[in-house]
């Protein structure tokens, strides 16, 4: 199968496009009209050659995406490629006892716009504890100001107050790291397990949170395997998408997922911060009690992952056949 990456030249396909293409990772995301520039380019090439090309991607997509690409048959990536990423935490069987003493943990590797916005919002709200949150990049006030203007335009003065203050520069210039090794989840989980099991909430910093169609990476699984609570700063509709396409349940006894319906990434992030603020001043004992309210869902999600039951959702396969695939 022909493998293609977003940094590759598409000129090689102009003369003859293969019948099948594997196009991994985020594809750079989807715009507000749910279109992707790379898939549009592929579709145009296929159309000129009067072909329908099967394209394996990292998104289970519905017709809201497929309809833009009549000469592409968009298919979720092969189970073998998917498991190379999602199975890395499957052998992590024992975690520290859950002993909540911190409000939020969040782990931020590369400096995508969404992660820049997330860490500065966490800092501005007082939720960024360097013992439990990472920021593996530096940023500037001008960068953040530019992002805010880009997404909220004339409302930028209002939204700036939730991201920047006169003392922000020191935070922006510092790196806070826990020895992050990109893609090595089997190692990273051991670096992060205490931070996860000691925190009331893990805010997952999802890839390309400023895209407009859900993309699920493996990051939320850090909370699943340590039996923790998580919310994701991700694309709009991400949590429903995770439930419908992967079968993982939401923690609806505790959290209001209204924020997840907001299209604008800046407004969505502030709604998320505002929603969790009601928990921020509670005691450790209160956090522990609230955690126990979601015990059933926590155990369900843990078993759902460890049993590989989630695979039957995304591949529509019989659960009895999963072991023969692994």
Domain range for residue 232? 86-315
Q: Same structural domain for residues 53 and 166?
A: no
- Per the domain annotation, does 321 fall within a domain? no
- Per the domain annotation, does 320 fall within a domain? no
- Per the domain annotation, does 323 fall within a domain? no
Q: Same structural domain for residues 104 and 66?
A: no
Q: Same structural domain for residues 27 and 113?
A: no
Structure tokens at 118: 């997330």
> Which of 27, 46, 77 represents a domain boundary (last residue)?
77
Classify the C-alpha dihedral 299-305-308-313 as positive or negative.
Answer: positive
pLDDT in tens, the chain (326 residues): 788 888 888 888 998 999 999 987 789 999 999 999 999 999 999 999 999 999 999 888 989 999 999 999 999 988 888 888 899 899 999 999 999 999 999 999 889 999 999 999 999 999 999 999 999 999 999 999 999 999 999 898 899 999 998 889 999 999 999 876 666 777 889 999 999 999 999 999 999 999 999 999 999 999 999 999 999 999 999 999 999 999 999 999 999 999 999 999 999 999 999 999 999 999 999 999 999 999 999 999 999 999 999 999 988 765 555 555 55
Number of domains in the chain: 2
- Per the domain annotation, does 325 fall within a domain? no
Q: Same structural domain for residues 237 and 118?
A: yes
> Which of 57, 77, 97 represents a domain boundary (last residue)?
77
Q: Same structural domain for residues 286 and 163?
A: yes
> Which of 77, 103, 131 represents a domain boundary (last residue)?
77
Spatial CB neighbours of 116, under 8 Å, sequence gap ≥ 6: 137, 139, 143, 144, 147
Q: Same structural domain for residues 9 and 124?
A: no
Q: Same structural domain for residues 173 and 262?
A: yes
Is 250:239 a contact under the CB 8 Å cutoff?
yes
Q: Dihedral angle at the C-alpha atoms of 118, 260, 302, 103, nearest 10 degrees? A: 40
Q: Same structural domain for residues 103 and 189?
A: yes
Predicted pLDDT of residue 120: 97
> Can you say how many angstroms the Cα of residue 63 is from the centroid of all Cα atoms in its chain?
22
Structure tokens at 270: 């502030």
Q: Same structural domain for residues 266 and 140?
A: yes
- Other Cβ atoms less than 10 A from the Cβ of 190: the count is 11
């Amino acid at each position: 199968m022909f493998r293609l990456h977003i940094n590759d030249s598409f000129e090689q396909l102009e003369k003859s496009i293969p019948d099948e293409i594997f196009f991994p990772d985020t594809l750079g995301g989807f715009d507000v009209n749910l279109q992707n520039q790379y898939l549009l380019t592929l579709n145009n090439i296929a159309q000129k050659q009067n072909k329908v090309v099967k394209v394996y991607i990292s998104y289970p997509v519905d017709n809201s995406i497929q309809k833009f690409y009549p000469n592409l048959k968009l298919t979720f990536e092969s189970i073998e490629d998917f498991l190379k990423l999602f199975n890395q935490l499957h052998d992590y069987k024992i975690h520290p006892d859950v002993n909540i003493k911190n409000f939020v943990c969040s782990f931020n590797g590369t400096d995508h716009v969404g992660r820049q916005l997330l860490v500065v919002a966490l800092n501005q709200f007082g939720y960024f504890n360097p013992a439990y949150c990472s920021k593996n990049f530096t940023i500037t006030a001008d960068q953040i100001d530019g992002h805010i203007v880009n997404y909220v335009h004339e409302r930028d003065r209002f939204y700036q107050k939730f991201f920047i203050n006169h003392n922000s520069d020191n935070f922006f210039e510092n790196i806070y790291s826990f020895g992050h090794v990109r893609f090595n989840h089997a190692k990273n989980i051991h670096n992060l397990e205490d931070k996860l099991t000691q925190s009331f909430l893990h805010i997952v910093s999802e890839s390309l949170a400023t895209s407009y169609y859900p993309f699920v990476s493996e990051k939320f699984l850090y909370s699943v395997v340590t039996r923790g609570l998580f919310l994701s700063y991700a694309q709009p509709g991400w949590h429903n998408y995770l439930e419908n396409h992967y079968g993982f349940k939401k923690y609806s006894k505790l959290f209001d997922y209204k924020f997840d319906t907001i299209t604008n990434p800046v407004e969505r992030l502030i709604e998320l911060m505002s929603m969790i603020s009601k928990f921020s001043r509670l005691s450790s004992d209160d956090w522990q009690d609230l955690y126990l309210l979601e015990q059933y869902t926590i155990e369900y999600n843990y078993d759902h992952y460890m049993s590989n039951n989630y695979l039957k959702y995304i591949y529509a396969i019989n659960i009895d056949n999963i072991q023969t695939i692994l």
